[in-house]
Structure 1
Amino acid sequence: MTSPTYEVVAIGNAIVDILAQADDAFIEEIGVAKGSMQLMFSPEEADALYAKMGPGREVSGGSAANTVAGIAALGGKCAFIGQVADDQLGQVFGHDIRAAGVHFDTAVRPGQPTTARCLIFVTPDGQRTMNTFLGASQFLPASALDLDLIASGAILYLEGYLWDPEEPRAAMRKAIDVARANGRKVAFTLSDVFCISRHGDDFRKLIAEGLIDILFANENELLALCEHESFEDAVQHIHGKVPLLVVTRSEKGAIALQGDERVEVGAEPIEKLVDTTGAGDMFAAGFLHAQAQGRSLEESLRLGAICAAEIIQHYGARAEVDLKKLAAQKLG
């Protein structure tokens, strides 16, 4: 087996986020559960909601893309596979992720639909309510996968958000086969309770078949996946079914379970909560990078918490400080 070239190769939605501030009354008006994610199924629907937005800012996003951008900012070498259209937003996404230091060479998709966009409304309490038009990202075909690239990553990282459309779901299944055939680990993030409500059976099957080595979830996602009301019952239900379980719990910190080892850390202190967009993505970035560096579970959780704390203190899901320097200061 050859040594991996990349710490992480991720497959996910290639999305440009458009963020704007909003109040609770606006969230109620558009009929979306605060703090959740809903899909928009046509460009017309996305355009209509965009017309209602206040002044916004564009920043490349997508869950797995945010994670590998975070790993690159920490000094790790990583790559991303995702589908954009041959349009302006596609150019924005490609420029941003390459500028972040991430290898990205998935061929653009000609014609309609447009590159995916996520309209994010941030309320004064820092909660983000996401409205996503998946556009071109939902048409990532298995034929677009660079199999050698997947085989060259120590960890293949997949996002639950991309499991919804049929074409990329098939692509991710193929990628799992390639990673495992080459002795690589497969990490999976559940992404959102919405994804579990639609594809929970698929996720449970992946776990039951032993195809997931590292599972990322937040507390609500874990409860939904395990169909339990008690957090500890849910942890015990899934523990042992995946080699490494990582669960974030917002202000209550995070836990990791691997074999007989269980480690918990508290949340990092912050000055002000501004925007929770990308908190879980950046937590995964810190955790995975620390694991790649051979750090302990406790150090990996701490670096995840450090990265998440940086992100939630400003708008957007990409770091605004030197993460590598921050990690050195906090962890040594």
Structure 2
Amino acid sequence: MEYEGILLGMGNPLLDISAVVDHDFLNKYNLKSNDQINAEEKHLPMYDEITSKYNVQYTAGGATQNSIRVAQWMLQIPGATSYIGCIGKDKFGEEMKKHSKLAGVNVHYCEDDSAPTGTCAACIVGAERSLVANLSAANCYKSEHLKRPENWALVEKAKYYYIAGFFLTVSPESIQLVAEHAAANNKVFMMNLSAPFICEFFKDAQVKALPYMDFVFGNETEARTFSRVHGWETESVEEIALKISQWPKASGTHKRITVITQGADPVVVADDGKVKHFPVILLPKEKIIDTIGAGDAFVGGFLSQLVQEKPIEDCVRAGCYAANVVIQRSGCTFPDNPDFC
């Protein structure tokens, strides 16, 4: 099978700035543990404060880019993955390009003159994290870039597409272009619920894309928010996963599969009217360094097997393996080679 360019990700590239902070820092900026938000005006001073007061680590991140990097790492096939998003023409942008290329991902960034490269502060307290994304240049992505021949060629070459729900806040037109291409060409289109605020405040854009989704990923909090927003009156993750999987589809080529992670609890998979549970790899608390990127890593591991047409059981197992590796390290990072088999 030809794997070059088989998986394409599109999203908001952010340079992750990770640091262990304290509860006072979270309280000062009104942040919650284990939450993900976009920065408001009141949050902007925190980026200078975190880099000046704490020991920080930089990683080429953003939800989709993390998943694509992990998939590339798991595949170990040069050029198997591609990624599209918008960065600034600055030193952080150069840093991003360097790290992405080192990871073996074929990146086609749009480079914006007017905004700095996006950043994401990952504020770690214990094993929990609070993510505050300042999209900046990531927010400037336009579908015109996607339509350029050299970029659309990536879309045409790929057979699998993954986009985190966060991109709904930036370029729903680009999502729609890729979604319609996938449906028309019997390819596999996948998205992530990504965060409660996406389900709440970007409901219309999410609902427009949902009929095209062949796989829907998310965690239990996002699933329950989705249920509440749609008036389903159920907190049961299994029931919600099933209802999402049965949402009408734009194309009948693939059935929709819903995959919901629940931290240390089993992964819930709704497929063909049935719900299955898959246990995760449990770790003693002292081995967990931080949970940043655990969900992104799970998706990356899952995708690495999916593009090889492995069974869902193997995809989930690979997802759990990748998440397990990442939570034992700082940030969404991993060793040079996986030992998954």
CA-CA distance at 1:107 after TM superposition: 3.4
Does 2:295 align with 1:280? yes
Residue of 188, 199, 202 corresponding to 1:199: 202
Does 2:282 align with 1:257? no
Structure 1 Cα separation of the partners of residues 84 and 15 of structure 2: 15
* Preserved CA contact (<8 Å) 1:263 1:297: no
Structure 2 Cα separation of the partners of residues 183 and 45 of structure 1: 43
Residue of 147, 151, 165 corresponding to 1:160: 165
Does 2:91 align with 1:88? yes
Does 2:98 align with 1:98? no
**Residue in 2 that maps onto 1:308:** 323
Residue of 39, 47, 50 corresponding to 1:50: 47
* Preserved CA contact (<8 Å) 2:15 2:92: yes
Cα–Cα, structure 1 residues 236 and 261, in superposed 2: closer, same or farther, change >3 Å? closer
Residue of 98, 120, 123 corresponding to 2:122: 120
CA-CA distance at 1:303 after TM superposition: 0.8
The aligned length equals 317
Structure 2 Cα separation of the partners of residues 73 and 121 of structure 1: 25
Residue of 236, 240, 253 corresponding to 1:230: 236
**Residue in 2 that maps onto 1:175:** 178
**Residue in 1 that maps onto 2:256:** 243
CA-CA distance at 1:156 after TM superposition: 1.1
| Letter paired with 1:58 | Y
Cα–Cα, structure 1 residues 45 and 129, in superposed 2: closer, same or farther, change >3 Å? closer
- TM-score of the pair, normalised by structure 2: 0.88
| Letter paired with 2:13 | A
CA-CA distance at 1:175 after TM superposition: 2.1
Structure 2 Cα separation of the partners of residues 243 and 19 of structure 1: 35
Q: CA RMSD in A?
A: 1.9
CA-CA distance at 1:172 after TM superposition: 1.7
| Letter paired with 2:95 | V
CA-CA distance at 1:276 after TM superposition: 0.8
**Residue in 2 that maps onto 1:67:** 67
* Preserved CA contact (<8 Å) 2:238 2:275: no
CA-CA distance at 1:41 after TM superposition: 4.3
**Residue in 1 that maps onto 2:231:** none
Structure 2 Cα separation of the partners of residues 50 and 4 of structure 1: 39
* Preserved CA contact (<8 Å) 2:179 2:209: no
* Preserved CA contact (<8 Å) 2:85 2:109: yes
Structure 1 Cα separation of the partners of residues 241 and 165 of structure 2: 19
CA-CA distance at 1:127 after TM superposition: 0.8
**Residue in 1 that maps onto 2:140:** 139
List gaps (5 residues or longer) in structure 1: none
* Matched residue SS, 2:131: strand
CA-CA distance at 1:94 after TM superposition: 0.9
List gaps (5 residues or longer) in structure 2: 229-233, 248-254
* Matched residue SS, 1:304: helix
Once the two structures are overlaid, the 10-residue window that deviates more, 86-95 or 313-322, is 313-322
CA offset digits 1:89-144 (Å, max 9, x no partner): 0111111111101001233112x2100000111001x1110111101011111111
Cα–Cα, structure 1 residues 58 and 202, in superposed 2: closer, same or farther, change >3 Å? same
* Preserved CA contact (<8 Å) 1:226 1:237: no
CA-CA distance at 1:206 after TM superposition: 2.6
CA-CA distance at 1:262 after TM superposition: 3.5
Structure 1 Cα separation of the partners of residues 130 and 7 of structure 2: 28
* Preserved CA contact (<8 Å) 2:189 2:213: yes
Structure 2 Cα separation of the partners of residues 203 and 83 of structure 1: 21
**Residue in 2 that maps onto 1:216:** 217
Structure 2 Cα separation of the partners of residues 226 and 205 of structure 1: 16
The percentage of aligned residue pairs carrying the same residue is: 21
Structure 2 Cα separation of the partners of residues 14 and 174 of structure 1: 19
* Preserved CA contact (<8 Å) 2:116 2:137: yes
Structure 2 Cα separation of the partners of residues 186 and 197 of structure 1: 22
